[in-house]
A and B are shown apart, each in its own frame.
Chain A
């Protein structure tokens, strides 16, 4: 009753893989965008800000469909990526990871941006007067101080990716072993006569994973505050 079936295990493992890859791949770009939004002053900043937040407000199905148009095999980006880098997204687990990364991106950027904004920008100036180049100042002052926020953002993105459904199923469908993530498997189970037990098991796993992710993110957020205040 409590043991997961082979297919269910596969869905859980796939979900974890997809979420991890999505998070790791999105992190560098999210860091750059967060830094730009927190510290940069340029024309089109609010446009970039809106663009980053778009996946948060758009219906996930719309995001999935846009990805399908753009990154499908015949989509302009999908075609280029396949012929130049050999990267295929449509109906592959990589596509699921892309969909999850896009959906989790705003959450990640937001958390990182807030943690960077909490850092006194004059600390970087102080570092400069001590002979640190902008890159060194970022690596030795800004990044360490923002690190707990970066990790919290990553946890949030990971949690979001674990639960992603609409964009993923629209973009890469629901193929067991390839694109059938935990949510998709759960959905399948609810649509199958006699699938209630499986649905419940997957629900329990889902609740557990989300709980761990949230607790981790909260713990990290507390560390940010202590670290930036310089008390610990």
Chain B
């Protein structure tokens, strides 16, 4: 996938090979994957096993069986009795609630990992502090910091220990929406500037879409899907939330038998995640074309059409990543005239998912590149006679693409 300003080419990718099995007290993890991504996200709802995977990677938890290889070094091999303890792994971790040392000031926290690591470049401390914008906090105690500040210090502390891999365990979930928006650019910057790949755990689809280059969807301790965010996040099948199936029961595979036959057939036909709680989203990459200061809009160009998004985003020429919710898209067979939608993208229907419920799912291969998933009524699918191959115009409400869903904002500053 053509990335945004990614890692400099030639920077050695860190390869993770992961395989772990745990079965204790009602919790089961049976997970294997390999990745060399600069930004891997583990996505899934709480209890899916994401944090467990991180703990195993970090060496804070021993699985019943498994093998973990990072950067060619075998960190864990239960069968061969190999276990490298956490402090010898050089894998940094940022916890959900920062876990700063309360008896040390910010400087002391930041330096904690520094002294343990082999001496790095002299400028490292200054670089990290300025990248995270925490220079003014150095003398403060953790107790007097805001949640967002604390999390930035925690990221800095982990970075300064010069890990070969940085794990972030729901780093934003303890923060309110404003604080999240405050931190997100720093994490993107981290991904693009720090010479250290990230593994990011989250159950928030917008975070994953913004940060990840590769996504692993976990459910009930298993990997349900993996790939670039544009491909993995869109086909998250279930549209129960939007559709009529209603009840919360039947999450994941366990409840499949209670589902209606049509739904099951649909699932069988569309191999992939059976995750129940997420409305589908699509991730589209487009180039910043112009800024309309009079109306406060940014115009982005994409082979399938131009897009207008509120706010001044990115530099002209930069690539932005947009998150579009399937519920925010309307479809037309002809190029619509005189409508309020500012974003109209042309493409061909590649797949249609429907069941007895009122809402169906239309997957569109956009002209050029990218995929879009729309949720529309089954009635509309029939009336427009949509079928694979149909040319459609997808209209996206500009107001639906809010700041949270737009990546690469920081690159503009």
Contacts and interface: CB of A to CB of B under 8 A. Distances in A.
A133 B86 CA distance: 8
Interface residues of B, number: 30
A123 B101 contact: yes
B99 to A, nearest CB: 4
Given A125-B60, A229-B143, A231-B141, A133 B101 contact: no
Interface stretch (B109-117, B179-187, B233-241, B328-336): B109-117
Interface stretch (A40-48, A95-103, A138-146, A189-197): A138-146
Interface string A114-137: 000000101101111111111011
A230 B102 contact: yes
Interface residues of A, number: 25
A126 B143 contact: no
A129 B91 contact: yes
B92 A130 contact: yes
Contacts of B102: 145, 227-230
Most buried by B among A125, A131, A230, A231: A131
A232 interface: yes
Given A120-B99, A123-B99, A230-B100, A129 B143 contact: no
A129 B95 CA distance: 10
Interface string B154-173: 00011001000001000000
B58 A230 contact: no
Contacts of B317: none
Interface string B130-169: 0000000000011110000000000001100100000100
B144 to A, nearest CB: 7
B90 interface: yes
A101 B157 CA distance: 42
Contacts of A228: 102-103
A230 B91 contact: no
Per CB-CB distance, the 6 closest pairs between chain A and chain B, nearest first, are A230-B102, A230-B143, A131-B116, A130-B113, A231-B143, A128-B86
28 contacts: A122-B95, A125-B60, A125-B86, A126-B101, A127-B87, A127-B112, A128-B86, A129-B58, A129-B86, A129-B158, A129-B161, A130-B92, A130-B112, A130-B113, A130-B157, A130-B158, A131-B88, A131-B117, A134-B87, A136-B87, A141-B101, A227-B102, A227-B103, A228-B102, A230-B100, A230-B142, A230-B144, A232-B143
